[in-house]
Chains A and B, each alone.
Chain A
Amino acid sequence: MGLIEGHLDVGAPEGVPIWDIDPYATDVLENPIEFYREMRAKGPFVYIPRYAILACARYAQTKEVFSDHERFVSSRGVGLVDFKQTTPWRPPSIILEVDPPEHTRVRRIMAKTLSPKVMREQASLLQSIADQMVAEVVAMGEIDGVADLAERYPTTVFPRILGLKKSNGRHLLDYGAMVFDAVGPDNEIRRASLSKGEDVVPWIMKQCERDNLIEGGLGAGIYTYADSGDISEKEAGLLVRSLLSAGVDTTVTGIGSLLYCLAENPEQFELLKDNPKLARSAFEEVLRYTAPVHSFFRTSAGDTEVSGIKIQENTKILCMLGAANRDEDHWPNADKYDVTRDVQGHLGMGAGIHGCVGQNLARAEVSAVLTAILAQVDKIEFTGTAKWRPGNSIRALASLPIKLTKKEA
């Protein structure tokens, strides 16, 4: 059995349609909605020979595969490369790319680090920076929603909350892109992101060291678990690395996509202005509708069966979170951004034990920005065409030309 993209080629299971498509082609990544629809229509699973993978796009199977950590493991990588067969590009994450019981030991520490209690303590800082930054972009009027707000806010607040002594927004963004693009095949996108590594990786690893973290920040807080013997010094560094890997690009994407949804759906923005209490669920609906992380893999730990399909051990399964979030069988009017929808159960933050551990921080950041917008902005309009940035696992905007109209006092 040969290796394709670093994993075993186990072939197509019986009864699964074979689809000759490249899910990582630039035009698919830039405009995935039709691709999602086609994949869902083909069946509960499809086999993609180009990468020798199984893929699922319907809600039921995607949720099942993605959240059943016993049958579908993460320890063999959440990308195309099977860590059991091929050495990954960096030492694996000790929280994302690991199974219980090791996962549980570490997850507990991260859950405490990023808890609702901690976010409550950070709420006034998050809000004051959001208020100020939104006031600045409102004064500018016409902005690039990505560079001027979506990137600027997280790269300002995140290093402060973490307590990085030195910050470099560009390095943080580039490292995030490396991590998320590395999940995909050895394509132009992955190579371009990884080529930045020479400068970025040593810088990131340096900032993860105890001496480069400010007392009282979340990063230094993780090292207190090394002091108490719950984790090793090296593990503490790797957990800070996890925060830096997953904490920036994702929230940047979330804020950019929120602005996009509000500009695209002015009547929903009006609804929100009338009822700011809907702000939290308006962001959940952004996560469903745009799925910042569009897909991740699982690997089958043994022979198993899902919806009558026999899946062999060693199968890489591409879970199309973005497609599951648009499945009409689960979400009526799935292609409509609707802030009043009961959106619970979306896969925008994953599901199961590997569900995004930083989700409370992401929500706290985006809520602060949205609260500031609802207080200060009357209208959000496109002034040009929004451009999506093709990414191997993140679907983010590259640029978003919009005009913000100030709300009269």
Chain B
Amino acid sequence: MVNIRITNTNGTEQSIESKAGMSLMEALRGANIDGIVAECGGSMSCATCHVVVDTDWLTATGEISDMEDDMLDCTATDRDPGSRLSCQIELSEALDGLQISIPDNQF
């Protein structure tokens, strides 16, 4: 299991248990985390599954592709150094304890 610690848009904190192998977006949606819209379903077409990863964890979440990098430049809430599209992060045991926050707006 992969434990994910989440700071919600209203500042409250929670943690969820997810399975390795799924995307972070799927895990967050599966847990009904408010503020993850992800309308395109993981095609990197909508940029509405934006999360901000705690910078200590950023390297562990893997490389950012050129396309994701471009999409992150124009998210509804301005990009932060820890910004990622959660559909592009695959969960693994290495991400157990991952700390993220949900930005204010997705659209």
Contacts and interface: CB of A to CB of B under 8 A. Distances in A.
Contact of B70 (A108, A284, A355): A108
A120 B39 contact: no
Interface residues of B, number: 24
A353 B67 CA distance: 10
B46 A360 contact: yes
Interface string A80-105: 00000000000000000000000010
Q: Is the interface of B mostly helix, strand, loop or mixed?
A: loop
A29 to B, nearest CB: 27
B85 to A, nearest CB: 11
A108 B44 CA distance: 11
Given A115-B74, A116-B47, A349-B39, 19 more contacts: A104-B66, A108-B70, A111-B70, A112-B74, A115-B75, A116-B107, A117-B78, A120-B105, A344-B39, A345-B41, A346-B41, A350-B43, A352-B43, A353-B43, A353-B44, A357-B45, A359-B46, A360-B46, A360-B47
Contact of B76 (A104, A120, A349, A353): A120
Contact of B38 (A344, A356, A359): A344
B40 interface: yes
Nearest to A356: B45
Nearest to B29: A344
A116 B45 CA distance: 10
Nearest to B26: A344
B106 interface: yes
A374 B95 CA distance: 42
B45 A359 contact: yes
A117 B71 CA distance: 10
Nearest to B37: A280
A120 B75 CA distance: 9
A364 interface: yes
Contacts of A115: 47, 71, 73-75
Interface of A: 67, 104, 107-108, 111-112, 115-120, 280, 284, 344-346, 349-353, 355-357, 359-360, 363-364
Interface in B68-92: 70-71, 73-76, 78
B48 interface: yes
B70 A351 contact: no
A296 to B, nearest CB: 15
A351 B43 contact: yes
B23 to A, nearest CB: 12
A355 B67 CA distance: 14
| 8 pairs of A and B residues whose beta carbons are closest in the complex | A115-B74, A355-B45, A116-B76, A355-B43, A117-B74, A108-B70, A345-B41, A344-B41
A296 B101 CA distance: 38
Nearest to A109: B70
> In this complex, which of B40, B75, B78 has the most chain A Cβ atoms within 10 angstroms of its Cβ?
B40
Interface in B3-30: 29
Contacts of B48: 116, 360
A120 B45 CA distance: 16
Contacts of A363: 39, 107
Contacts of A344: 29, 38-39, 41
A364 B73 CA distance: 19
Contacts of B73: 112, 115
25 contacts: A67-B43, A104-B66, A104-B67, A108-B67, A111-B45, A112-B73, A115-B73, A115-B74, A116-B46, A116-B106, A120-B105, A280-B37, A344-B29, A344-B38, A345-B41, A346-B41, A349-B45, A350-B43, A351-B43, A352-B43, A353-B44, A355-B45, A356-B45, A359-B39, A359-B45
A111 B43 contact: no
Contacts of A360: 46-48, 107
Nearest to B74: A115
Contact of A349 (B38, B40, B71): B40
Interface string B94-107: 00000000000111
A108 B73 CA distance: 11
B29 to A, nearest CB: 7
B40 A355 contact: yes
Interface string B43-59: 11111100000000000
A237 B45 CA distance: 22
B64 to A, nearest CB: 13
A84 B78 CA distance: 43
Contacts of B47: 111, 115-116, 360
A112 B107 contact: no
Nearest to A347: B41
A111 B45 CA distance: 7
Contact of B40 (A112, A359, A364): A359
